[in-house]
Chain A
């Protein structure tokens, strides 16, 4: 039985429908990450699961029991917010033990459990400090501590690392992954717009767009087999290249001077979009590749370089991910070799990819 089940959830604010019929089953112990652009409804779904917002229609079930109208405190869940939501007038220990003290748990028991949680999160030396005396990472650990102390069945994370700097995000990401492993059968639902967090943490990713689910799957499944151009364009950085083409009845795709036959089976014909990830393109000598193009810009990132190419038949520049040290220069003519085994063919009617990514 699914731990959390959403059945045709809809949510409107006034006349605006922001969640448009979401069905999803989340298993016990699973780590599910909601990703999507701003305004796609990922945080709203989390708030609907928590009970902080009520659904306009549909059902929310926990362990098969209808919890749609159950108040948040009775849902046995915990939530970690982007802003940490720590109480500035309470010490770290008091913040962590806040829920227990509300429930009038004996003081000795609160102290014991706070010490235990603090040890798990390496906060034991900071228990007497106030939130203002902590770093961003420490504050987020306190917020997590406040959540885990009540032994919730479901953890909800609303962009918990967005306020941290890049280095801290990496270490906190590892901490959250470790926590999930240690807590075992606790279900975690995590909202982020950062796809690295989604790819590294998730058992399954839910890609949302305009209040609807575009695709649900494991990180690699979503990456390698995107259901449509929206998912293909949203997941992966730099994002997938799209080239307008025409697909013949034999399955071969034509664009500009090139004709290629994608190795993966597809059912698209006529006007189509070819999707190629930047790492599935290679630069060769001009005339030796699938087509020729001119280098517009080279971004050297150290371990790798991103080369932006343009050609008369391309609507916008395409990106090639290649080795770090290259003797390439702008305006240089190069050949581009396409990895036919990793080509995606989409119908142009498929949801549009994000404009910039």
Chain B
């Protein structure tokens, strides 16, 4: 069989070894490889404290590394995949990771409830700060594994946003702003992009861990919290999140949460010494402005609150991390409204955070302004710019369509949560927060305690959390698929009836 024919069938000949061209399978095996390494490391630490948990983690690590290595030898990405394959591949990766995580939780001493294990795993990989476990009751190994799930989840999200999706969804709203001239690109190719993003991510994690350690936090806690802060995950080893930590630790968390919500393009510009581009990043200044204005709003609304606590809650909400240094659920409604808006808007594009993203929100405001202008002068030609880049009309239309879909999912989620008996504000907040991968809401409290939610509510949140991490595309595609199936069914039934007549 010739090389061309083999390529057509999806199998490429490389000398004596044949590797299948599959983006999805390669993504799964690569992710399993990293999970295996992280799990093994957690097992090595945890085996001395809890032998059972340690063995579970070590075995999981070994199996995952074995599968990952085998996969790397079997699959490769040679051809540019279609958008459906990339989105489907990423969704499948998350599904496999969530299943592996669930099995680990079930085999360990963490829980013997399948629903709880599934929720914890999904919450971890989606970097949502909702937990159905008491973190203080977990062994050190499991605490590390729990943190590692968030770290890996955010890394995959980042690689998807910066490397995978821009390659296939050109001009789409899913492509982050900042892909400038070819030479300046953070991700000129998949391999280089992965290396650069991974390097920055790892560097930030190490810096964050060291900073936590310098504030007097223990080694294990520093590692776990670095993993969950840089990933905007929000899992902690304490039942009260960051409330009982000291001022220095809270300040470090505020700084790194803010950094975690920033675009990796910004970091790249800083590393390359491109000061002008860095300073001209409108999205970054808007992000800072949102954190600052949220801080001021909290200071004005809450009597006696310090700047440190206000800034902490603001950074946590804007970066969608979900950590808390104070019980914000008892704040006055004006502070709550501002926090909710910050959670819904979320962080910068191409960051580890979630939410609608600042650039998209800014583009929507510009779009509304343009439509207002067009009411006065229908023939006027105006353009919307983000980061000095003119956004095409088609892209803006997609953005509005995407935003409507986002809102629709929030509304459906809120309604479904309300059917489980949760009050309206908490239903709305929990749905928005889950879709933004933030987590905590008034009903779960500042620490994101999901045991306050019924098991049905927790199951309902899982698709929302995963959709929030990956982009809502797979979930929407599934919904539209169901709608189209219904339409086809009606058509076929009509045809059948006509034939019988």
**Are the chains A and B members of one assembly?**
no
**B interface, CB within 8 angstroms of A:** none
